[in-house]
Amino acid sequence: MLRELKAPQCSSVNENLMHPNDQAKHGPLAGFTVGVTAARRADELGALLTRRGAAVLHAPALRIVPLADDSELLDATRQIIATAPDVVVATTAIGFRGWIEAAEGWGLGEALLDRLRGLRLLARGPKVKGAIRAAGLTEEWSPGSESMAEVLDRLLGEGVEGRRIALQLHGEPLPGFVESLRAGGAEVVGVPVYRWMPPEDLGPVDRLIEASLTRGVDALTFTSAPAVVSLLDRARELGRLDPLLAALRHDVLPVCVGPVTAVPLEAHGLDPVQPARFRLGPMVQQLCVELPARARTLHLAGHRVEIRGHAVLVDGELRAVPPAGMALLRALAERPGWVVGRAELLRALPGSGRDEHAVETAMARLRAALGVPKLIQTVVKRGYRLALDPSAESEYADV
């Protein structure tokens, strides 16, 4: 279900983007909301984010359906035991372990392991290597990038004509990979260990999509390509795909654990953030750099004000701000020091059917939340403006 994990305070790991006093009180992600689409290891990822100050919205975009009783997996296992392939490519640790466990359930475990011991095993990454070795086997090679593209390049570079290659699938088809091998003359045996399916309860995903469209989240994290595909497919079903892609291009930061996960987003022209090392920890550390860099810092009425996703740092003090107040503050911050009329501020408020009295109510709550009412000045009969410090006015003169 969609749930919010509230952020504990912790010290910052991103010293160049926060003042030292702020680091002692808040994590680098304080004031930001991050969407988590992972089905597996979601709690681990959520804990990493909340320890750094983020609020987390979790909506698993898919579920894993094991195929221990699936006839396709049983047939593929029997084929490999009966006729040895030249190469076996293992793509995921959970999938490889699931394959061995399923074979054991059918009474074929020892026969499968005996067969695999005499074959060339390629592992997509370190986790898969660990699963292979835990089964008492040894991989021949694994790419440093953890990319299936590098595995494909190696196989094609060696030449695959007339060779039989078994490919442990990781939940969704790999048409480019399989087609390239077949075009090179290889016979490809798919080993479908499990499948990704949409979640049984689509409510949390729908709410996460809506939160993205209304900028209720500052970033969306993805740890598998199927999660990306599932979320985009659901947005398409709702008629919200184009608005979601627009949000991901401009306001909501898409973050992927690695290049394989990024492929479906890149196919839509997006450029998601990726860590140099394809792990949850480095992905969170990358967020600790990217999101604070997007924060808007202003000097208002002698105070330092940093505008974040759902909160504001005022002289290092974290101030939670209601959504309506954040909408007004962002509208004012687009033109620091300039008067913004009530009609324009009304258009910035979430929801519809309001009158200008709603602006006054939201403004009063915003001032109360900031704790320093003089940060925003009322200009009689005209509107409101941020009380920009005179020393900062030249910086925004042309805004």
**Mean of all residue pLDDT scores within the chain:** 87
pLDDT bucket at 40, cuts 50 / 70 / 90: confident
Contact 335, 399 (CB under 8 A): yes
pLDDT digits over 187-230, tens only? 999 998 877 788 999 999 999 999 999 889 999 999 888 899 99
In this structure, the strands spanning 311-314 and 317-320 are antiparallel
Pick the range with the lowest mean pLDDT from 191-200, 283-292, 325-334: 191-200
- Mean pLDDT value of segment 373-389: 92
| Phi, psi for residue 135 in degrees, rounded to 5 | -85, 5
- Return contacts of 310-313, CB within 8 angstroms, 24+ apart: 310/31, 310/32, 310/33, 310/55, 310/216, 311/30, 311/31, 312/31, 312/369, 312/370, 313/22, 313/26, 313/30, 313/31
Residue 391 in this model has a pLDDT that exceeds 90: no
Which H or E run contains 169?
A: strand 164-169
Look at residue 48 and give its three-state secondary structure: helix
316's CB contacts (< 8 A; 6+ apart) are 19, 21, 22, 25, 304
Instruction: Give the residue-averaged pLDDT of 142-147.
Output: 83
Mean pLDDT, rounded, for 316-324: 92
Q: What is the per-residue pLDDT for 268?
A: 96
CA–CA separation, 159 and 259 (whole Å): 25
pTM here is 0.72
CB-hemisphere CA count at 13 Å for 354? 19
pLDDT at residue 390 is higher than 60: yes
Output DSSP code: residue 9.
P
Greater confidence (178 vs 367) lies with 367
**Beta strand pairing call for 296-300 and 63-66:** unpaired
All domains of the chain in start order, with CATH: 3-62+199-294 (3.40.50.10090), 65-196 (3.40.50.10090), 296-396 (1.10.10.10)
Q: Is 25 helix (H, G, I), strand (E, B) or coil?
A: helix
Confidence of residue 134 (pLDDT cuts 50, 70, 90): very high
Cβ-based burial of 324 (10 A; exposed 0-12, middle 13-18, buried ≥19): buried
Least confident range from 54-63, 273-282, 345-354: namely: 345-354
Label residue 17 by pLDDT band (50, 70, 90).
Answer: very low
Could you tell me how far CA 88 lies from the centroid of its own chain?
30
Q: Name the band, by pLDDT with cuts 50, 70 and 90, for residue 20.
A: very low
pLDDT of residue 1: 41
Residue 352 pLDDT = 56
Q: Which has the closest alpha carbon to 42: 5, 76, 12, 8? A: 5
User: What's the CA gap between 39 and 59, in Å, rounded?
Assistant: 8
- Residue 22 pLDDT > 70: no
pLDDT band of 174, cuts 50, 70, 90 = low
Q: Which residues contact 298 (CB under 8 A, 6 or more apart)?
A: 304, 305, 306, 307, 333, 336, 386, 388, 392
Confidence of residue 3 (pLDDT cuts 50, 70, 90): very low
Average pLDDT for residues 239-265, to the nearest whole number? Answer: 93
Share of the chain above pLDDT 70, in %: 88
